[in-house]
């Protein structure tokens, strides 16, 4: 999944109050990277940050008057969306009502969506129809279908101009394909080619920023109990590996986390180290000895706690469809349903409407907040430097090494005197997008800030020259390198590993 900027906001009060409020960018979701830049005309004042859980990326002072710092935070980390799967129509409408907080679900498509044909294979559901009509606004839809993979081009062409803050979509070809391969309907090579075709369509499409990832969906039964090689159904450019996990027996006790997930995840990672995982369908039969359902409720909670703690599972949905797996269905008034609602409510991914910085003094202040999606959850910022700049009209950002497909975020904070000479404006030596340009322009000493970003970039070490419209007395410059989530460079099979 490529990095996209969700949004950014900034503020700089004209007077010296010692505090500043910045409105949160719209559309922040779990897994997004937040970047905070704060600057003040004071070098010893104590700063109260707006939220907890921030990672210090660096800070610097320049002279006796200027301090600037950069912080980051992964929203709702570890990232995992939780949801419910239900058949389209009244069952899905009821599910959305009964399970508030759904952040992830699947749509299996329908036949003849994009025109009449002779087969009965499903095609991708058009956006705004089917399950999309009741989809919560902050939920991610995972689409899959069994007809021509080229229909993804039609589907993406038909999407409206959704903003970068949209939750986005996951995409999979023919889910659970092993039965069809075993019956000779198609081969694993054909399936891998279909997957690669989907990845190529996304990579070339102008709306690719809406696709969170493309990958296969297998089953725990296939990869674990039937000993299918995960590499038979993967391809180099996939973004995740999906595996439906069921426990479809009502005797013998509930499965451990290793039985249900750990063993099959280990097999996938033996072939594709570090690839993100998705559990599109998850279901557990209530044991016959568990007459109240409290045992299954505890098992669901334990399983999801385990998946969350791993940090490499992107999403999981409970499969609550009567027609397919009746023994796993949860009654809406059962202890299991109560447990799942509690898990939905505890997903995180929320931030305050306003970020407030405060100090124990009264200096002039300024702040900027940016939100980025599609970053590597394990190491979103792979390089960061915050250093004192030089007096004058030219500043050089410190060099940082950006990985292939990564983004460069950089900027400057300065002080000049006297304020009567006017507001400073800024330019950069490349064609990056300017996100913020602020100046107080009042009193005898003024604060300025400017921020830019650029991406995706080829791998390399980057520095930029920033030019101000007037001479600045003190400066702090910073540069950050953002890493995208694991993709084509990290999903090659490891050759020579035995598969047992």
Residue 417 has pLDDT above 90, yes or no: no
pLDDT digits (tens, 9 = 90+) for 432-481: 999 999 988 766 688 999 999 999 999 999 999 999 998 899 999 999 99
**Cis bond before residue 456 (omega within 30° of 0):** yes
Amino acid 492: pLDDT? 38
For residues 277-295, give the mean pLDDT.
Answer: 96
Identify the three-state secondary structure at position 490: helix
Amino acid 420: pLDDT? 52
* CA atoms of 209 and 141, how far apart (whole Å): 15
Quick one: pLDDT band at residue 489, thresholds 50, 70, 90?
Answer: very low
Identify the three-state secondary structure at position 228: coil
Task: Supply angle C-alpha 164, 4, 26, rounded to 5.
Answer: 45
Task: Supply angle C-alpha 307, 371, 199, rounded to 5.
Answer: 65
Order of strands across the sheet that contains 446-457 = 381-388, 474-482, 406-416, 446-457, 433-439
Amino acid 195: pLDDT? 96
For residues 414, 397, 468, 35, the Cα torsion angle rounded to the nearest 10 degrees is: -60
- Could you tell me where the DSSP H helices lie in 205-262? 220, 257
- Per DSSP, the residues of 15-50 read S--SEEEEEPPTT--TTPEEEEEEEES-SS--EE-S
pLDDT digits (tens, 9 = 90+) for 161-174: 988 778 899 999 99
Quick one: pLDDT band at residue 287, thresholds 50, 70, 90?
Answer: very high
* CA atoms of 478 and 462, how far apart (whole Å): 12
Tell which wins on pLDDT, 31 or 188.
Answer: 188
pLDDT digits (tens, 9 = 90+) for 223-275: 998 899 999 999 999 999 999 999 999 999 999 999 999 999 999 999 999 99
Tokens of residue 398, six digits? 């410190």
pLDDT digits (tens, 9 = 90+) for 308-355: 888 889 999 999 987 778 889 999 999 999 999 999 887 765 678 899
List the CATH code of the domain at 81-347.
3.20.20.80
For residues 4-19, give the mean pLDDT.
Answer: 92
* CA atoms of 349 and 101, how far apart (whole Å): 11
Amino acid 57: pLDDT? 94
Order of strands across the sheet that contains 426-428 = 392-396, 465-472, 426-428
Order of strands across the sheet that contains 33-40 = 4-11, 365-373, 33-40, 66-74, 55-62
* CA atoms of 122 and 154, how far apart (whole Å): 14
Distance from CA of residue 425 to its chain's centroid? 34
- Of the candidates 448, 443, 455, the one whose C-alpha atom is nearest the C-alpha of residue 483 is 455
Quick one: pLDDT band at residue 497, thresholds 50, 70, 90?
Answer: very low
Domain ranges of the chain: 4-76+351-482, 81-347
What DSSP character marks residue 398? P
Amino acid 495: pLDDT? 34
pLDDT digits (tens, 9 = 90+) for 120-151: 899 999 999 999 999 998 899 999 999 999 99
For residues 225, 170, 31, 81, the Cα torsion angle rounded to the nearest 10 degrees is: -60
* CA atoms of 378 and 121, how far apart (whole Å): 38
Quick one: pLDDT band at residue 493, thresholds 50, 70, 90?
Answer: very low
| Pairing mode of beta strands 140-144, 104-107 | parallel
For residues 69-91, give the mean pLDDT.
Answer: 85
For the chain, what's the residue count?
500
- Of the candidates 88, 104, 346, the one whose C-alpha atom is nearest the C-alpha of residue 212 is 104
**Cis bond before residue 64 (omega within 30° of 0):** no
């Amino acid at each position: 999944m490529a990095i996209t900027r969700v949004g950014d906001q900034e503020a700089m009060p004209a007077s010296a109050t010692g505090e500043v409020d910045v409105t949160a960018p719209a559309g922040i979701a779990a897994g997004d990277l937040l970047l905070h830049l704060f600057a003040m005309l004071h070098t010893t004042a104590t700063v109260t940050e707006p939220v907890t859980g921030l990672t210090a990326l660096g800070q610097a002072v320049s002279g006796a008057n200027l301090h600037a710092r950069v912080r980051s935070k992964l929203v709702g980390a570890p990232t995992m969306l939780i949801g419910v799967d239900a058949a389209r129509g009244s069952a899905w409408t009821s599910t959305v009502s009964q399970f508030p907080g759904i952040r992830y679900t699947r749509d299996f498509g329908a036949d003849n969506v994009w025109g009449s044909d002779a087969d009965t294979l499903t095609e991708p559901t058009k956006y705004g129809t089917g399950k999309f009509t009741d989809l919560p606004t902050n939920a991610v839809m995972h689409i899959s279908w069994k007809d021509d993979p080229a229909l993804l081009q039609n589907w993406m062409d038909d999407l409206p101009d959704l903003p970068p803050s949209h939750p986005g979509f996951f995409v999979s070809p023919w889910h659970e394909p092993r039965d069809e391969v075993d019956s000779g309907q198609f081969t694993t090579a054909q399936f891998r080619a279909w997957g690669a075709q989907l990845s190529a369509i996304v990579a070339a499409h102008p709306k690719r920023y809406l696709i969170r990832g493309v990958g296969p969906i297998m089953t725990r039964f296939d990869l674990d109990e039937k000993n299918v090689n995960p590499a038979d159904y993967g391809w180099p450019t996939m973004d995740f590996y999906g595996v439906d996990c069921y426990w479809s027996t009502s005797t013998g006790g509930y499965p451990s986390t290793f039985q249900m997930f750990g063993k099959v995840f280990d097999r996938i990672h033996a072939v594709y180290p570090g690839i993100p995982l998705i559990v599109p369908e998850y279901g557990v039969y209530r044991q016959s000895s568990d007459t109240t359902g409290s045992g299954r409720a505890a098992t669901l909670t334990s399983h999801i706690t385990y998946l969350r703690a791993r940090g490499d599972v992107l999403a999981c949905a409970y499969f609550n469809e009567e027609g397919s797996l009746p023994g796993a269905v949860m009654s809406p008034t059962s202890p299991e349903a109560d447990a799942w609602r509690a898990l939905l409510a505890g997903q995180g991914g929320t931030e305050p409407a306003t970020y407030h910085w405060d100090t124990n003094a009264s200096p002039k202040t300024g702040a900027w907040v940016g939100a980025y999606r599609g970053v590597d959850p394990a190491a979103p910022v792979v390089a960061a430097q915050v250093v004192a700049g030089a007096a004058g009209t030219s500043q050089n950002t410190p060099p940082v090494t950006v990985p292939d497909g990564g983004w460069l975020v950089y900027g400057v904070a300065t002080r000049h005197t006297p304020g009567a000479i006017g507001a400073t404006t800024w330019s950069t030596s490349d064609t990056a997008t300017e996100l913020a340009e602020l100046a107080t322009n009042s009193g005898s000493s003024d604060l300025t800030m400017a921020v830019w970003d650029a991406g995706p970039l080829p791998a390399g070490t980057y520095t930029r020259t920033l030019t101000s419209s007037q001479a600045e007395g003190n400066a702090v410059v910073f540069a950050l390198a953002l890493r995208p989530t694991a993709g084509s460079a990290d999903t090659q099979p490891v050759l020579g590993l035995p598969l047992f």
